[in-house]
Amino acid sequence: MNRSLVTIADHTREKIEYLIRMAQEFEHHPNRLLLQGRVVATLFFEPSTRTRLSFETAANRLGARVIGFADPKVTSGTKGETLKDTIMMVSNYADIIVMRHYLEGAARYASEIAPVPIINAGDGANQHPSQTMLDLYTIYQTQGTLDNLNIYLVGDLKYGRTVHSLLMAMRHFNPTFHFIAPDELAMPELYKQYCRQYNIRYVEHQDFDADVIAGADILYMTRVQRERFTDLMEYERVKDRYLLKLEMLAKARPNMRILHPLPRVNEIEYAIDDDPHAYYFQQARNGLFARQALICDALGITLEQVKVDKTII
């Protein structure tokens, strides 16, 4: 059985809940020797320091050894080696491969040819399942449930891979989505169609103010990137409209939490960092537990085994 993780879109509700329970175990006890004697390879054909550090920390805290590369310039890919050859070679050394690639579909292909499980740490604009898993875990952690939540997505909803994956993964949990974005970066029709197909309610907003935010359980902010705009005048016009300021939280629900996949540039005012609604740094920390769960699951380690694990440090 191929235990690779390429996308989370195919996961059932049960599988998502199972992984959340496993991540909870790791949150209680992140330091273990559960993976002692195993080798985890992290192949980053595209640099991503944040994701790589999170995966490598997850492996290290479970006692695994980590090999790999962080910079594609040092690999044979620059000498013309195919992805297949690199994957086959590394499969001889490692028990599992975590890979990030700039080409879409690279992880799917690697999972079809590799004799060891592959974890997709992002393939171009396509999928980034470990981010989705940590988002789901954070939502569950802050709300106590994934069911019937009002999730507000703000910023770049057109190119934002994380919001698309989150939207798809939430389909099992009867959410109501609110889309807040400039016209140029509006949620693509494809995903609105997806919502209709799975009976996911969604509301589109032009305004972004205290009254709109008042209905949110989760306020998921993303970065509005200048390079996404063909019309720079348009960018200048909208860039400040999707800034979250402290006073906009005046009517927010007590349970509301602000998430952001990071890096943040200026879309959340720094004064908000100390507000109890701010949760993006804890969210990033959850990436560690979510990735520990994903690595163990891909290696065939079950929730039961994690629960009775005697290697806790």
Partner 1 sequence: MNNASSQIQSASSLTGKEGGGSARSLIVSALDHGTVIDHIPCDRLFEVIELLHLQDMKSKVTIGFNLKSQKMGTKSIIKIADRFFNDEELNQLSVVAPDVTLVIIRDYEVVEKRPVSLPDELRGIVRCDNPKCITNNEPMRTYFHVIDKPNGLIRCHYCNHEQKLRK
Could you list the residues that contact partner 1 (CB under 8 A)?
82-84, 101-106, 108-109, 123-127, 190
What is the separation of C-alpha 86 from the centre of its chain, rounded to a whole number of angstroms?
25
- Whole-number minimum distance, CB 102 to partner 1, in Å? 7
- Whole-number minimum distance, CB 36 to partner 1, in Å? 34
Residue that has been written with the tokens 């449930």 in this structure: 145
- Whole-number minimum distance, CB 129 to partner 1, in Å? 13
Residue 247 contacts residue 269 (beta carbons within 8 Å): no
Q: What is the residue-wise DSSP string for 238-288?
A: HTTTT-B-GGGGTT--TT-EEE--S--SSSB-GGGGGSTTB-HHHHHHHHH
Q: Which residues contact 274 (CB under 8 A, 6 or more apart)?
A: none
Q: Which two tokens stand for residue 204?
A: 């589109």
Smaller CB separation from partner 1, 18 or 109: 109
Distance CA 57, CA 66 (A): 9
Backbone angles phi, psi at 99, to 5 degrees: -130, 140
Cis peptide before 263 (omega within 30 of 0): yes
Smaller CB separation from partner 1, 168 or 200: 168
- Residues catalogued as catalytic: 50-51, 79, 100, 128
Smaller CB separation from partner 1, 51 or 126: 126
Distance CA 139, CA 258 (A): 10
Smaller CB separation from partner 1, 51 or 127: 127
- Whole-number minimum distance, CB 237 to partner 1, in Å? 30
Smaller CB separation from partner 1, 78 or 207: 78
- Whole-number minimum distance, CB 103 to partner 1, in Å? 5
Distance CA 95, CA 289 (A): 20
The angle, 0 to 180 degrees and rounded to 10, between the axes of the packed helices 129-143 and 280-298 is 120
CB atoms within 10 A of CB 183: 9
Smaller CB separation from partner 1, 97 or 284: 97
Closest CA to 282 of 8, 27, 63: 27
- Whole-number minimum distance, CB 104 to partner 1, in Å? 4
Backbone angles phi, psi at 205, to 5 degrees: -120, 145
